[in-house]
Amino acid sequence: MTDIELAAGELLQAREAGKPCPPLRGRLLPSGDVDAAYRVQQHQVRQWRAAGHRRVGAKIGLTSRAVQENLGVHQPDFGVLLDSMAVPDGDEIDVTRLLQPRVEAEIAFVLGADLPEERVTTVDVIRAVDHLLPAIEVVDSRVVDWDISIVDTVADNASSALFVLGTAPRRLADVDLRLCGMVLEHAGEPVSVGAGAACLGNPLHAVAWLAQTMARSGDPLRAGEVVLSGALGPMVPVTPGAAYEARISGLGSVRTCFSEGASA
């Protein structure tokens, strides 16, 4: 087996066994080799698709300048969203299906047109967007203790796990994406706050980057797909048994909760 296949196999086994694996960088993948990390991601996606799962969109990560600096990178990354990752608004998530989950609030873009071009302008994105929804992304790492570099997280499908979308669509023209405020609450108390400007200055910029990047990879964004545009505030470790609600100005709210976990 190649190192790409071995790395993909370790991540898949970590998901199935519920036990994180050691970091991949410097062991199976060269440190800093983002292209190799995406090949690991693609290998897993092919296996998920072969098992009957369907791509429903993509997520953008590393949209915070501070997080980029911490990882020593200067661009976002992305992962694939599958139908099996979608959780209905308000539903309880079985925390035992996750390893070390965290939550973050985001703006979801639902596309009404393809974005096939390798050079995408902001106007192209605006024309392609059908509507917006508030979203909670549940991120998770199959790497022990979240000990990740960009290579580890990209290989691990950008540390994706699940996503929850609100159910009241809003038009793009009705929302100030740069200035819209966000609060993520647990038990009525804010645990994360932020605004659209935290996402590469404007979530539209993040979507344009993703559209270009995926078009260059030969697998562009398509009409009907969901784009999670990046966290509007710091991610928060999940507490078993807790409920979380994200409210984004102009977009409304979205909510999810987690089971208590495995019984003793």
| Residue 38 confidence class, pLDDT cut points 50, 70, 90 | very high
Q: Is the pLDDT of residue 257 over 90?
A: yes
104 close to 235: Cβ distance less than 8 angstroms: yes
Residue 37 CA to residue 47 CA, distance in Å, equals 16
At 8-32, the pLDDT tens digits run 999 999 999 999 999 999 999 999 9
Q: Is the pLDDT of residue 40 over 90?
A: yes
Q: Is the pLDDT of residue 131 over 90?
A: yes
Q: Which of 48, 120, 47, 82 has the alpha carbon at shortest distance from 226?
A: 82
At 98-112, the pLDDT tens digits run 999 999 999 999 999
At 143-161, the pLDDT tens digits run 999 999 999 999 999 999 9
The residue count of the chain comes to 264
Look at residue 72 in the predicted model and tell me its pLDDT. Answer: 77
Q: Is the pLDDT of residue 133 over 70?
A: yes
Q: Which of 260, 6, 13 has the alpha carbon at shortest distance from 143?
A: 13
**Across 205-218, average pLDDT:** 96
* pTM assigned to the model: 0.96
pLDDT > 90 in the chain, percent: 93
116 close to 220: Cβ distance less than 8 angstroms: yes
Tell me the H-state helices in the chain. 3-17, 34-50, 65-71, 122-128, 150-155, 203-216
Look at residue 67 in the predicted model and tell me its pLDDT. Answer: 78
CA distances from 69 to 10, 26, 63 (A): 27, 20, 11
Residue 113 CA to residue 12 CA, distance in Å, equals 33
Q: Please, is 207 exposed, middle or buried when counting C-beta atoms within 10 Å of its C-beta (0-12, 13-18, 19+)?
A: buried
202 close to 191: Cβ distance less than 8 angstroms: no
Residue 78 CA to residue 115 CA, distance in Å, equals 16
CA distances from 109 to 119, 165, 203, 256 (A): 19, 10, 9, 19
Tell me the CA end-to-end span of the chain in Å, nearest whole number.
39
Q: Is the pLDDT of residue 66 over 80?
A: no
Look at residue 262 in the predicted model and tell me its pLDDT. Answer: 64
Beta-ladder partners of 21: 143
At 80-98, the pLDDT tens digits run 999 999 999 999 999 999 9
